[in-house]
Structure 1
Amino acid sequence: MESFTEKERGILSQFCTNTDRDCFALINLPEAVKGALFSRYSRSSKSLRRVLLDEFILNPEAGFAEIVGEMKNRGESQLVATKKAEEFYDRVLVGYGDDSVAELGGAHLAAENISIVLTKIMQDARIGISPLEKSTRYVYFDQKVDGRYRYLQEERIMQSKYADEYIRACDLLFDTYAQLIPQMAKIEEEKFPREAEVSERAYASTIRAKVCDILRGILPASTLTNAGFFGNGRAFEYLLTKMHASPLSEPRAIAKEAQGELSKVIPSFVKRADSKYGKEMQEYIARTRDMSRDIALCHPSLTQAWEDGYHVSLVESDANAEDKIIAAILFSHLHADLEQVKALVARMPREERERLLNAYIGERKNRRQKPGRAFEAADYTFCVTGNFGMYRDLHRHRMLTQERQLLTTKHGFDMPPELKEAGFDKQVMEAVQNADVLYTRMAESMPHEAQYAVPLGCRMRWYIKMNLRECYHFCELRSMRQGHIDYRRVAQDMHTLLAKTHPSLVSGMKFVDYGTYELERLEAEKKIDKKLEQLKQKK
């Protein structure tokens, strides 16, 4: 353990959470300085705190005192500090690879009043970015601003002959949604009166969530929402590059805004997104997308969507999944080549295979206790036809590959049974069919923009490819009782298909919930009440 003088400890304590232990965190430093510091650290024999002292704090050429001094202030001074930190970063990192270094600094980005269409484009960034989004499951979207519902009046649509029809279609969807909120809330309250042991807070939250779940499919994909993202610089750079290359005007406009704001906090990490090299990358993304599309459109019999009900199919699975996983389990405990291990597995008796799998899965006490990395050796590909609202919930998973088709109204609409029972299905279908007419007129000449008119309850297609370890996580998490009934069904159906295909490998997946629940959020809200009570008792 390196020792520091009393003076050095006094300096370091401003920037490190401790000065006398081997594990510590950095504080009070600009992101660019943190990135530069870790980069130098990777090529130095010194400790991180010594590098910080010798090459940053006590190095007159670094201008460190000026940078950090400005950081302590607010407003314009902090922006000045970021600019100086960027200049410092560029000087320090001559000879270092920008890509990996850009993962050492991060930022929080808020994107407000963006469409649901755009949230999916931004959340396609799986690695290095963690998104959160205003939820249609817990928040009503019936508010008006300046007398208008909050949906995107997309630039190209509003300049087209479809502008007035688009406004009417979106307004009708929102009118229907807003009118049904109080009516469905009353029906659900009468159907499920509050029990004595349930708090008013928990009951109100549960009923609200139930009504949101029933009605969210009426909202159009143009609905404006808010989203937050935390990510590292490299991930943001690639996200911005892809958004700049989008065929839609909204992602391009927000990319420009986001790059401007991120340049105020992590400028060195995102500057390439729209630089000469960034523009070349944008052109590459757009060119390969358009050329691939043109070839795909040479098969007209498969380009037209048709009415199709919900279903999940297992398209691909590893025929030798068990052999792969058993070999992966054994490999880390042996000192043999993988080919030798696979040969051992090929002649291993059934009883020994089962004993090894059972030992590796172990006695799982909850869904968070997942089998180890060996279960990543087998892959499965599912194709799902389900509504867009369902897709939005499942899209957030990171450790897998998902690819969707363009939104359409032509696969049909999932009508919640509660709306049928209440006699509101005809009213809802009138609004949905009106959107379908608009979509049909727009789709041929404006296929990307036509997506904004599609209600969230309309079905779409996407595929999901994931390994068995992720299947455990996906199926058990998304089948939990507080989940939306639509995506719970997907998780349950995937589990059924997996169990039929590889029963020995899926035998440990015992936290998939097949139960049926009327008020899905009630138990979760009761738990929140208990936590709130515990917090009160701590005061």
Structure 2
Amino acid sequence: MQYPRETFTDAERARLAPHFSDLDGPVFALTNLPETVKGALFARYSRYPGTLRRLFLDEFAPSLPELPAGWDTVGEGERAARLYETIFLGYGDDSVAQLGGVHVACEWVSNVLTKVLQRPRIGAYLEQSTRYIAYDAEMPGGGYRYWRDPELGPEYAAAMDELFAIYSAAIPVVTASVAERFPRGEGESERAHARAIKAKALDLLRGLLPAASLSHMGIFATGQTYEQLILHLLAHPLPEARRYGEMLLDAVKATIPSFVTRVERPDRGGAWVDYLRTRADAGRAWARRLGLDEADGALGSSVRLQRVDGDEDDLLAALLFEATGVEEERTRERVRSLDVEERARLLRDLVGARANRRHRPGRGFEALRYRFEIVSDYGAFRDLQRHRMLTVQWQALSPALGAEVPAEVDEAGAGDAYRRALEISRREYERLVAAGHAEAAPYAVCLGYRIRYVLDMNARAAMQLIELRSGREGHPSYRAVAHELHAQIAAVHPAVGATMTHVDRTAEPRLERILSEMRTEAKRAQAERG
């Protein structure tokens, strides 16, 4: 793909140079900036329609001092580099690679690749949102925002253009319908209401976007995490992933080169890549041998609790463990002797009064574990996949599990166009597979199609995910999954389900986002008043 290249004036390039490792490529590290500024840049990034370098010039550069040409405060230094090589390479102490990190931006990445980039859990990831940014605008240089590859043929480009054209045409239609259904209420500012209307319309239409849609991502991680991520990218069968692996390596080398020095060594990084490829090939071969490689259909979205590890005795004993001075088994025996009322009181006291969802009980909740198999639209999967403290595995994206048209889209009169887009997506996926591009075929699949995945998590992680994703401000598709996760946990462990006191089952009578937008507007007004 020919990456979109933004044009900067000579003055802008001079302003950017001290702070970005590359001024032209789509992958670059942030340098010579305070940690608070880098964090704020990434926080704003998810709702900003442009690139990170343009965001810096527009909103951050005016408040930062200019640095002289050639300024560099992030170089490793010769002595530090030698010491690192001795410890890391000589003694094999990998934990040293956890002690340095870097902010990296990956721009113009497909939605397929964003999931690969976010797969390492030990890191911080921020992705441009389809809720706040409409994908109807052209990229620098022209054309809709989707991954391009000449090898996929002109039919692919034509199908993607048509999908984006349907999406673009539907935005004003659905926005007008939403605005009519949800008029501005008393106490709602016009600006907050308009943003909420836009978010609702884009939520309803995000299922039209193909997985080839391009996004921008911000990553903050340690050198160890980057090393493993780069190796997995270099071993990936998707050409886009391998190319970004090479660019990510260059960006990290520009800031903390010693942390990734093993990647390019044939006996270390080369051997790792070979191992990862061999392991993936073995999985595919055995799936074919066992007749498990063909996607089966599904009757719709579903949440199934496949396995439960642990019981209430394990939970109570684990919660008490750090306060006792005896073996855990003795605590478990004592807990087992309590009557129902005492057990309920014990759990209630150990969990405490949770004033908000950020007040979570102790590590003892990790003694229980749940494994769920879920079928949901790909858009919901994208949001649930990002949770770090759980195990997530997913199957290849395809049209095999079907898709649904949101009722509100039908009510707006855009349902037939939505269905036509789903059919275009399905046909192009099948054409790509038949043409020998099975790895790239998911690019053509609309985000409204379903995917099967596993979430394996302990009770503490489940509490965090369920309470966060059940909020009325969230997208209805992942809210439904969160509600069902809670219901099934409560069915097997009622006491655990009862501790999740901040699960939001209310229905917002106006808009999912309106309360959040009202709070944002109030904070902005307060800030403007000083």
Offset at residue 430 of structure 1 (A): 1.1
CA contact under 8 A between 1:314 and 1:381: conserved in structure 2? yes
Partner of 1:305: 296
Residue type at the aligned position of 1:109:
V
| Deviation string, structure 1 residues 37-71 (Cα, Å, up to 9, x no partner) | xxxxxxxxxxxxxxxxxxxxxxxxxxxxxxxxxxx
Instruction: Say which is worse superposed, 378-387 or 273-282, in terms of deviation.
Output: 273-282
Give, in angstroms, the shift of residue 89 of structure 1: 4.2
The answer as to 2:243 corresponding to 1:256 is: no
Question: For each residue in 1:208-243, what CA deviation from the matched residue of structure 2 results, as whole angstroms up to 9, or x when unmatched?
Answer: 101110111100000111000011111111111111
**Secondary structure at 1:234's aligned position in 2?**
helix
Is 2:365 the counterpart of 1:375? yes
Distance 1:30 1:98 in 2: 29
Matches within 5 A, 1:38-437: 76-78=70-72, 81-82=75-76, 84=78, 87-90=81-84, 93=87, 97-127=92-122, 129-145=123-139, 146-154=141-149, 158-160=150-152, 163-276=153-266, 277-300=268-291, 303-318=294-309, 320-437=310-427
1:357, 1:505 within 8 Å by CA — same for their partners in 2?
no
Query: Which residue in 1 is equivalent to 2:518?
Result: 526
Query: Cα deviations across residues 444-500 of structure 1 (Å, max 9, x unaligned)?
Result: 533221010000000010010000111111111100111001100000011111111
Distance in structure 2 (CA, Å) of the matches to 1:148 and 1:295: 41
Kept in 2, the 8 Å contact 1:241–1:274? The answer is no
Q: Name the CA shift for 1:510/1:79 in 2 (closer, same or farther; >3 Å).
A: closer
Aligned-pair distance for 1:192?
Answer: 1.7
Q: In the superposition, relative to structure 1, how do residues 73 and 532 fare at CA in structure 2: closer, same or farther (>3 Å)?
A: closer
- Counterpart residue type for residue 280 of structure 1: A
Aligned equivalent of 2:502, options 489, 511, 518:
511
Deviation at 1:29, TM superposition (A): 11
Task: Give unpaired runs (5+ residues) of structure 2.
Answer: 1-30, 36-65
Deviation of the 1:302 alpha carbon: 6.1
Letter in 2 for 1:106: G
| C-alpha spacing 1:108/1:291, structure 2 compared with 1 (3 Å) | same
What is the TM-score with the length of structure 1 in the denominator?
0.82
Contact 1:492-1:514 at 8 Å conserved across structures:
yes
**Superposition deviation, residue 316 in structure 1:** 0.7
CA drift at 1:271? 2.0
Q: Which deviations, in whole Å up to 9, do the C-alpha atoms of 1:388-445 show, x marking residues without a partner?
A: 1111111110000000000011111121111111222111111211110121232353
Contact map agreement 1:30 1:82 (CA 8 A) in 2: no
Mapped contact 1:142–1:174 kept (Cα < 8 A): yes
**1:76 CA displacement:** 4.2
Offset at residue 349 of structure 1 (A): 3.0
Partners of 2:373 and 2:247 lie apart in 1 by: 35
Counterpart secondary structure, 1:386: strand
Tell me the secondary structure at the aligned position of residue 448 of structure 1. coil
Query: What residue in structure 2 maps to residue 5 of structure 1?
Result: none
1:498 aligns with 2:489: yes
Check whether the contact 2:174–2:414 (CA below 8 A) recurs between aligned residues: no
Question: In structure 2, do the counterparts of structure 1 residues 446 and 86 end up closer, same or farther at CA, with 3 Å as the change threshold?
Answer: farther
- 2:471 aligned residue: 480
Question: If you compute each CA radius of gyration, which structure gives the higher value, 1 or 2?
Answer: 1
RMSD: 2.3
Distance (Å, rounded) in 1 between the aligned partners of 2:308 and 2:479: 22
TM-score of the superposed pair, with normalisation by structure 2: 0.83
C-alpha contact 2:124 2:219 (8 A) present in aligned 1: yes
Matched residue SS, 1:109 = strand
Change (3 A) 1:177 1:339: same
CA offset digits 1:264-314 (Å, max 9, x no partner) = 111111222232201111111110111121101223266233243011111
* In structure 2, C-alpha distance between the alignment counterparts of 1:167 and 1:456, rounded to whole Å: 17
Amino acid at match of 2:126: L
What is the number of equivalent residue pairs in this alignment? 465
Distance 2:236 2:517 in 1: 40
